[in-house]
Structure 1
Amino acid sequence: MPELPEVEVVRRGLAPRTLGRTITDVELLDARIIRRQAGGADRLRAALEGSALTAVARRGKFLWWRLADPDGADTGEALMGHLGMSGQLRFATPGAPAAAPSAASEGPASDPLRHRRLSLHLDDGARLDLVDQRLFGGLWTSPLVEAADGSLAAVGSPDALLPEGAAHIARDLLDPAADLPAIARALRTRRSAVKTLLLNQEIVSGIGNIYADEALWAARTRYDTPGTALSQRRALGILRAARAVMERALEVGGTSFDALYVNVDGRSGYFARSLAAYGREGEPCTRCGRLLRRVVHQGRSSHYCPRCQRRTT
């Protein structure tokens, strides 16, 4: 599943190509991709066709565009998107079909022709395709509400308004308005395993399995350490490690283990080459040389070093 760095790569790719553009047509090929849309396809088309895209923002793994009417007035709605497990937002060259999967990619690539579920046609002739092999992602509209803390709603947002559908999602660690000490205190009030808490999008958003393992390895903390066993200093250290590893991933386009995640140009990210823990079961820890282990904890794989990340009770 694309995590925060991968979704931010997509957002940055969308901004220069969509901002200021008007949606001229919504081409729906599979209605399952808009299953969260109140009122169905007719409502989606009514909200989008003729609307201009005035901002593209992100909180955690959620993306959205702000919408304006033909006179430039805000419509009070946003077009929300989530990539799910395998969603891709890909640009097709005007007048040409989407490109075939890259031969250089590894893994089960989404086919940009067969798995194209919805396309937005823009007034410059470009076509933005939502490609999703597994259909866990989607697009839908949502009314705007005020962020609870009154700060800028998200990365890329012009004000404190955000879609109602994302109002329950916590701020992420790349958000300038994120309060790391408060998030650390929230971690410390829970008895759940620290990795479970990092994956809880209502505590801190955007962190998935990959970056949770990497952050915990960097902070020398085992995945099953209870939140209540953390000191404030240790909890802050974990959050700062998570932010640092995601910033490094962002610099190289995110993490691609297979071709299910690519950017808007169909290119993969390269951070998988720099991972210290995730996916390295049986390989030596780069810090101490002990062989890394993988366990299944609460239905998810966790990768850790048994020497650097000792059990805490």
Structure 2
Amino acid sequence: MTSPFPFSAIVGQQQMKRAMVLTAIDPGLGGVLVFGDRGTGKSTAVRALAALLPPITVVAGCPVNSETPEACPEWANVTDRALIQRPTPVIDLPLGVTEDRVTGALDIERALTRGEKSFEPGLLARANRGYLYIDEVNLLEDHIVDLLLDVAQSGINTVEREGLSIRHAARFVLVGSGNPEEGELRPQLLDRFGLSVEVRSPDTIEDRVEVIRRRDAYERDTAAFMTKWQAEDAKLRGTILAARAALPDIDTPDEILHDCARLSIALGADGLRGELTLLRAARALAAEQGGKRITRDHLRDVAPLALSHRLRRDPLDEAGSFARVARVIAETLP
């Protein structure tokens, strides 16, 4: 199997890479929505990040990647309780997928051949403790969107049909990508993404040439290219692990909480999810940069990622959401 393109070798797209690194530091951020042109490295980035992360410890026979034998669901009837290391899972959720394929369903073959009622886990089981990636997320069917909203809220996948009553953990980092010209995302699902970024094709000859050069080198001699970027990826992996360890000890001054609230009010963001995500993202950034407390600089850096997709539409303002957030930051957090 071909190794994923190294995360450190992706040219430009700094906001996209920052958002993905922050979700790796704090998976509770709620995932990343990446909207923009085709061929801008969206799917490459998520697979590269998952490959960059350290493997997870799982029970060998558990279909939901449980960390301990005690956490394995009873319906799985796990017999192999040995602990092994697996790469962080990245599961694709294709357009047109059926609900049974997502949540899991009765194992028809086993029921017919053995007369046994058995549960066949779906994509949500495989994605537990990893990443669920949806390309063209704005074209996803409504009933699948509703299903994902329920699971994203609870972290539990529940299947009640065909005589089955199944529950299992389904906690994952949701990464969606799409082209806004092909359709809008339902507001309910849009709000579930913690961070959002807009990506564009490189607009300088130098950047485009460098993209071509690196991709060509990767395809011509993958092993040599991976070796060349191994040290950079290892350095970033160390930064992520150190930030995870430091995260609980990052101090949050009261004035930062006031700044989060003021910024959200000034932007007209609905609900409180924006403030909470902004705070968590700023804390993850502080941990990544080796800081001891959240500062206004951290808020300024992550506010466009955490708030731009939560703005109410203003037909009189032609500026994009990122530009509107930047303008309000300058006015609210001088």
TM-score bracket relative to the smaller structure = under 0.3
TM-score calculated relative to the size of structure 1: 0.23
Rg larger in structure: 2
TM-score calculated relative to the size of structure 2: 0.22
Q: Which has the higher contact order (CA 8 A, sep 6+)?
A: 2
**Greater per-residue helix proportion:** 2
